[in-house]
Structure 1
Amino acid sequence: MSRLTIEVTPKQHQHIKSLAAFRGQTIKEYVLSRIFPDDEDHAYKEFKAFMHNRIAEAEKGELSERSLEDITKDVLSDSH
């Protein structure tokens, strides 16, 4: 078996680690699942599940006070 090593910033490492934990996966499992999705509809299924949860939260009144612009700025600044 081969080993792959990449250098990331501490912030990027924490972000990847958090995303993996959110999905109940190890970092290795998370990265491999993102690189090699199980099927062509994987991204759609993931998005659909995410939106289903967000809609359920909204119906319960669990809404964010942040604007779309603020959220977008945060996401874009995290990716750099």
Structure 2
Amino acid sequence: MNDEEIYDNILNIVEKYGPDSKGISKTEVTRIYTEKHGTSKTTIWDYIIDLINLGKLEFKKVGKVQHKLSLPTS
């Protein structure tokens, strides 16, 4: 699987499971991804960070210490 496929799979998970304003946790995204595609959590976290840096994902604070991933609103 190439990088673009991995990015697309992560974005699809965020879109499917985190459509509300609160989004989905990074841990939940990695759990779903590893169940479907079988790779390490650390690898998926690296791809998530890349997507955040590229502006394709947002990492929003939703509690005192809790953050959630969501698609950009703009």
Scaled by the length of structure 2, the TM-score of the pair is: 0.29
Scaled by the length of structure 1, the TM-score of the pair is: 0.27
Indicate the structure whose relative CO is greater, using CA pairs within 8 Å and at least 6 residues apart: 2
- In our comparison, the structure showing a higher alpha carbon Rg is 1
More helix by share: 1
More strand by share: 2
